[in-house]
Structures are given as structure tokens and as C-alpha cells.
Amino acid sequence: MQSGGWKPPELKPPLLIINCKNYRAAWGEGGLRLASVAEDVGRRFNVTVAVAPAAPFLKYISGGTRLPILSQHVDTVGEGAATGFLAPSSLKEAGCVGSLLNHSEHKLSARQVATAISLLRQEGLVAVVCAEDVSEARRLARLRPDFLAIEPPELIGTGVSVSKARPEVITATINEVKAFSPQTRVLCGAGVSDGADVEAALKLGSDGVLVSSGIVLAKDWRRAIEDMVGPMRAFYRA
């Protein structure tokens, strides 16, 4: 359990983010077990691993692990009369270090993304913004998010990694993002299934990967996470 004054590790590259989505395997106790395995593997490999649980389990999982915890989404609202919305300040209270934004399964307008980034920063939280293609990445880079994850939606959940199937998308995204926001870290998502996919993404210049079913639905979480963080040890960046 977290102790008083404890702060989660910084989200530094190379970074593995595990998006649990709403897979039942990662609900409640299952999610806590996944986070515990990820914490142990990340510590042994000296690689930063973060987990994004489903919203009902954020506080429970953040309270039982020293991993950095991300929300899967945040709304552009403050505290008070905002029934059914996730306020950035509530994420901080739940122990999150930040949030995913604009995933292809939960799209936002550019204005909403801009507002969400601003609200997260007011709370000292990190924004991990998803983009479907190079054009969207270019537009969102102007908002200077902390991280931008390129995830072609047609490859999500297919087991066919963008780093192998469409490597030019990663290199083009990195070039576009760095032109507008040099400090933004670029992550690779969509279809990432194993260590070879991770290594390919890092060799193309990615600062890490955003993965979901490749780990959450794996029969052996430890083996799946070890396989993906293994190649990361050779890719430390300042």
C-alpha cells in the first residue's frame, strides 16, 4: 500500500502503458493482480510501466500498487454539479498521475482535448493524447500534450502492429509532432503484441508503447509484460 508522502515514479521513456479498457479480467482483484505483476516486472527490468484501469477501480488499484496509474478518460468539467462526468481533480484524489485522452473508442473534439489538457495541468496531471493518423497527430501536437500515442484504429486489437504493418506512420507522426512540440513524447499503439513489435517501435524513434489486449488478455501476464519490456532496457532516453 502507498504510504504518506509517497509519490509515483515519473512517466519517463521508454514507457509501457497498459490500457485495461473494460476487460473483465482486469476488474477489481484481477486489475490489482495485473498491476502488481507489472510493478514487479518494471522494477526488475528498470523500465517504467503504467496501468490505466477502468474508472470504478482507479482508487482501489492505485491504493494497492506503486505503479503510476492513469485514467482512461477525463471530462472537461470541474468539481460540483457535473453528474456522471470524470473531473480532473477527482482523478488526482483517486491517485492517478494523469489520463488518456481521445482514444479511438472515446473520441473528443480538438477543443475538448485542449480544455482537458489545460484542466489536467492545473492539477499537475499528465495528458496522454491518442491520435488516429498523422493528420490528427499534427493538429493535436499544437496543443503540446505530454505524450501523443499514434493508434490507427483499424489495427487496434488485431495483433498486427503498426510498427511492422505501417512503420511510415510512426516516423511521419514523430516528425510532425516534434516540429510543433519537441518536448512531446510519441508512443506507438494499435496491435502491439510482443517484444518484437516493441523493439520495432523503439527503433523507429518511439518513446514507448500503449498496449491493451496483447497483455490484458494474455494467459500469462508476467510472461507477456516481460516480453514487451525486455527490449526497452537498451532504449533509455533523457
- Give which of 238, 217, 199 is closest to 16, Cα–Cα: 199
Question: What cell was used for 17?
Answer: 502503458
Amino acid letter, residue 128: V
| pLDDT score, position 1 | 42
Q: What does the alpha-carbon distance between residue 100 and residue 25 come to, in Å, rounded to a whole number?
A: 20
Task: Please answer whether residues 115 and 151 qualify as being in contact, where contact means their C-beta atoms are separated by less than 8 angstroms.
Answer: no
| pLDDT score, position 162 | 63
| pLDDT score, position 25 | 97
User: For residue 184, what are the CA distances in angstroms to 19, 167, 177, 206?
Assistant: 20, 19, 7, 11
Q: Is-catalytic flag, 106?
A: no
| pLDDT score, position 158 | 60
Catalytic residue (one of 39, 132, 136, 151): 151
| pLDDT score, position 236 | 63
Q: What does the alpha-carbon distance between residue 73 and residue 7 come to, in Å, rounded to a whole number?
A: 22
| pLDDT score, position 193 | 83
For the question of whether the overall pTM of this predicted structure is more than 0.75, the answer is: yes
Catalytic residue (one of 103, 132, 136, 176): 103
DSSP 8-state class, residue 9: P
The segments of the chain whose pLDDT lies below 70 read 1-9, 153-165, 236-238
β-partners of residue 17 are 50, 210
For the chain, which domains are there?
A: 15-233 (3.20.20.70)
For cell 533509455, what's the residue?
A: 236
Question: What cell was used for 35?
Answer: 498491476
Q: Is-catalytic flag, 151?
A: yes
Helix (H, G, I), strand (E, B) or coil at 96: coil
